[in-house]
Amino acid sequence: MSATASNLSRIIAAVGVCVLALTLCACGRRETPVEIANREGILLVSSGGDPTSIDPQLIETLNDSHISVALFEGLTVPDPVTLEPRPGVATSWEYDDKTLTWTFHLRPEAKWSNGDPLVAGDFVFSFQRMLTPELGADYANMLYPIKNAKAFNDGTLKDFSQVGVKAIDDHTLQIQLEHPTGYFLELCYHQTYLPVHPPTIKKFDAMARRDSGWDKPESFVGNGPFVLTKYVLGDVVEVKKNPLYWNAAAIRLNGIRFYPIADVNAEERAFRNGALHITSTLPPPRIPAYRDTHSPYLRVMPVYGSYFYTINTRKEKGALNDPRVRLALNMAIDRQALVDHVTRGGQIPSYTMTPPSAQYQPRAHFTEDVAAAQKLLAEAGYPGGKGIPPIELLYNTSDAHRAVAEYLQAAWKKNLGVDVHLANTAVSAWLDRRHNADFDIIRAGWYGDYLDPSTFLELFASDNEMEQSGWKSDKYDAFIADAQKESDPAKRMEDFQQAEAILDTDAPIIPLYYYTTIILIRPEVRGYENNLLDQHLYTNVYLDPTATTPEPQQ
């Protein structure tokens, strides 16, 4: 018996080893996807997750917009480095003294990818669709600077002709604004201002329907430098060069593949495996390894975004209702240590909500000072943290959020004697508890939609639904309202500074750091710029397979 059985075992083992070895060897040392893509002029990008949609009026996230800018083009396009508005579909524009009436002149050669000419009426149609209440577009309020847009969107105004968008003729578009908006040209390149093809939308009855599915490769019509060729959820979004794009001659890529890799470690592996040109991020523990070896692949750039915690300031939250306690929590953290040792991505410690930009340099209104924080806490009636019941810190599950939360928990315990319990949940439960204000302190983060402090500071105005801190300040609201009407940029920025001062000392939030974009990028990718809004135009990007060193950054 033993002889036969041991033969049996040997045979099974041998067969197993052979099968494994053969299959693996069959693949051999292969030509990597990047090498193939270099040859074919295809850019391989990780989009960091599945796009919500391809439809520019339904997209939600920054990652979604990375795909939509390849497929559509707005009135203006951003300069890839400075983000200044440059001519897109519009060749030129003028506005009146109060910056209330804008007239755009569209290029006559602009076409849709099916050959139809692109006319001013298409923009009117697109804006109407965006604002149609029944469509329920998440981002509709980006169009609210347009006259009567809000009224139409919330259903009080039924007649769209009263909204301030008008096609004077096929190549002239006039837009009336609600109030002076200095950054309106920048808004025009935001994904919410992208046009869609009216006949296609009508054909699919998609004016007010979210699930029409018009944006599948078979029926897709766009006006961008690329057209959609493949779209499979969880797999890939593939676009190829659009020969009918007005500037097609200047486009050097033949196509782009966006891979929705949500697992950050899998993404880094894919990059090293030669399956990606560009990643969407890099997990924090891996950053030092790339930075310390001066890896040619690592690129770290500041971005217009803020990572912070929101405090529930409602009365029933007891201690957290007291601004002194909140300020003490703010002051008892070493943010420099946090970014150096925990997040490790070259983030900038933040003491304000709004990140710096060319127009606006935020001023800090408190300093990190443990002794002063302890004193504040004692003044509030909680010496040594005594009397404060455990505070719950809620975050959505992710290694990165967890590390920050663990660090802060330890810091508050050590410096203030305050007990903090961590609680993590899945994203939907986290959002639900945020909307229902069912938290003590909750993780938050915000990327600016355009380069202006209002994209951050309006979040804390009383009429904003997003931040659920329960904090209200009439003075703050007054400054924000004032800034909205102000047409002098300098005075406007001063309004924001005043508002920010109130926000940061009353402290319904705990600013932690300004985000950075941390990506891995292969040296053969040229012309791929990073900027504050993390907007990428693929019109200037090309692949140079001979390049082995990264291109210098401006």
Partner 1 sequence: MCSSPRSIQRPPLSDSRPLHIVASSSLWADAWRRYCQHKLAVASLALLMLMTLACVAGVIGVTLRTHFGFGWPYGYEEQNVELGAQMSSAAHWLGTDLLGRDLLTRLLVGGFVSLTVGMLATGMVVLIGVTYGMVAGYMGGRVDRFLMRVVDILNALPFTIFIILLMVVLDNPLKSLLLKLNLANSQPFIKLCLLFLAIGAFEWLNMARVVRARTIELKSLAFVEAARALGRRPRQILWHHLLPNLAGIIVIYATLSIPAVILLESFISFLGLGVQPPLTSWGDLINQGASNMELYPWLLIYPSLFFSLTLFALNFVGDGLRDALDPRTDKGP
Partner 2 sequence: MHPVLRRALVRLFEIIPVLWVVVTLTFLMVRWAPGGPFDTERALTPEAKKHNDAYYGLDKPLFVQYEKYLSNFLHGDLGTLYRHPDWSVNELLAQKAPVSAELGLWATLVALVIGLGTGVIAASRPRSKRDYGTMAVAMIAICLPSFVLGPILLLVFGLKLQMVNVMGWNTVGDRVLPSLVLGLYYAAYIARLTRGSMLEVRAQDFIRTARAKGNGSVRILLVHMLRNALGPIIAYLAPTVAGLVTGSFVVESIFQIPGIGRMFVEAALNHEDQLLLGVTVLFSAILLFCNWLGDVLITALNPKAAIE
Q: From the list partner 2, partner 1, none, pick the one residue 402 interacts with, judged by a Cβ distance below 5 to 8 Å according to partner type.
A: partner 1
CB of 414 to partner 1, least distance (A): 9
List 157, 244, 262, 370, residue binding partner 2 (CB under 8 A): 262
Q: From the list partner 1, partner 2, none, pick the one residue 14 interacts with, judged by a Cβ distance below 5 to 8 Å according to partner type.
A: none
For the segment 384-443, give every residue that binds partner 2 (CB under 8 A).
426-429, 431-433, 435
Looking at beta carbons only, is 435 or 475 nearer to partner 1?
Answer: 435
Q: From the list partner 2, partner 1, none, pick the one residue 6 interacts with, judged by a Cβ distance below 5 to 8 Å according to partner type.
A: partner 2
Angle at which helix 323-331 crosses helix 370-379, to 10 degrees, equals 160
For the segment 159-188, give every residue that binds partner 2 (CB under 8 A).
none
CB of 30 to partner 1, least distance (A): 22
Between CA 506 and CA 320 the distance in angstroms is: 11
What are residue 177's DSSP bridge partners? 146
- Of 85, 140, 517, 64, the C-alpha closest to 304 is 517
- Of 271, 252, 270, 261, the C-alpha closest to 40 is 252
Q: From the list partner 2, partner 1, none, pick the one residue 283 interacts with, judged by a Cβ distance below 5 to 8 Å according to partner type.
A: partner 1
For the segment 45-74, give every residue that binds partner 2 (CB under 8 A).
50-55, 58, 60
Both structure tokens of 162:
């009263």
Both structure tokens of 497:
């500074």
Q: End-to-end distance of the chain based on CA atoms, in angstroms?
A: 76
Q: Is 266 in the site for partner 2 (CB under 8 A)?
A: yes
Give the CA distances from residue 114 to residues 390, 479, 537, in Å, rounded to whole numbers and listed in that order.
Answer: 61, 48, 22
Q: Is 270 in the site for partner 2 (CB under 8 A)?
A: yes
In degrees, rounded to 5, the angle at the alpha carbon of residue 479 between the alpha carbons of residues 478 and 484 is 95
For the segment 496-535, give every residue that binds partner 2 (CB under 8 A).
none
Buried b / exposed e over 510-531, threshold 16 CB at 10 Å, is bbbbbbbbbbbbbbbbebbbbb
Looking at beta carbons only, is 70 or 120 nearer to partner 2?
Answer: 70
Looking at beta carbons only, is 33 or 164 nearer to partner 2?
Answer: 33
Q: From the list partner 1, partner 2, none, pick the one residue 9 interacts with, judged by a Cβ distance below 5 to 8 Å according to partner type.
A: partner 2
Between CA 294 and CA 292 the distance in angstroms is: 5
Both structure tokens of 407:
């660090």
Asked whether the beta carbons of 101 and 95 are under 8 A apart, the reply is: yes
Q: From the list partner 1, partner 2, none, pick the one residue 169 interacts with, judged by a Cβ distance below 5 to 8 Å according to partner type.
A: none
| Torsion sign, CA atoms 190, 191, 193, 195 | positive
CB of 406 to partner 1, least distance (A): 5
**In whole angstroms, what separates CA 311 from the centre of its chain?**
23
Looking at beta carbons only, is 27 or 249 nearer to partner 2?
Answer: 27
Cβ neighbours, 10 Å, residue 56: 29
Looking at beta carbons only, is 9 or 229 nearer to partner 1?
Answer: 9
Looking at beta carbons only, is 219 or 425 nearer to partner 1?
Answer: 425
CB of 289 to partner 1, least distance (A): 5
Question: Which of these ranges, 175-183, 270-278, 300-308, 361-369, lies near partner 2 under the rule CB under 8 A?
Answer: 270-278
Looking at beta carbons only, is 1 or 249 nearer to partner 2?
Answer: 1
- Of 183, 184, 486, 402, the C-alpha closest to 175 is 184
Both structure tokens of 186:
């920048």
In degrees, rounded to 5, the angle at the alpha carbon of residue 161 between the alpha carbons of residues 155 and 164 is 90
Looking at beta carbons only, is 436 or 554 nearer to partner 1?
Answer: 436
List 111, 166, 210, 291, residue binding partner 2 (CB under 8 A): 210
| Binding residues vs partner 1 (CB under 8 A) | 1-2, 265, 283, 285-286, 289, 337, 341-342, 389-390, 392, 397, 399, 402-403, 405-407, 409-410, 419, 421-426, 429, 438
Q: Is 136 in the site for partner 2 (CB under 8 A)?
A: yes
Looking at beta carbons only, is 289 or 371 nearer to partner 1?
Answer: 289
Q: From the list partner 2, partner 1, none, pick the one residue 341 interacts with, judged by a Cβ distance below 5 to 8 Å according to partner type.
A: partner 1
Cβ neighbours, 10 Å, residue 465: 8
| Torsion sign, CA atoms 521, 523, 525, 531 | positive
Looking at beta carbons only, is 2 or 549 nearer to partner 1?
Answer: 2
Looking at beta carbons only, is 265 or 462 nearer to partner 1?
Answer: 265
What are residue 70's DSSP bridge partners? none
List 29, 158, 294, 315, residue binding partner 2 (CB under 8 A): 29
List 92, 247, 265, 505, residue binding partner 2 (CB under 8 A): 265
Three-state SS for 426? coil
Looking at beta carbons only, is 208 or 426 nearer to partner 1?
Answer: 426
Site string for partner 2, 145-164 (x = CB under 8 A): --------xxx---------
CB of 212 to partner 2, least distance (A): 8
# residues contacting partner 2 (CB under 8 A): 73
Buried b / exposed e over 240-279, threshold 16 CB at 10 Å, is bbbebbbeeeebbbebbbbbbbeebeebbebbeebbbbbb
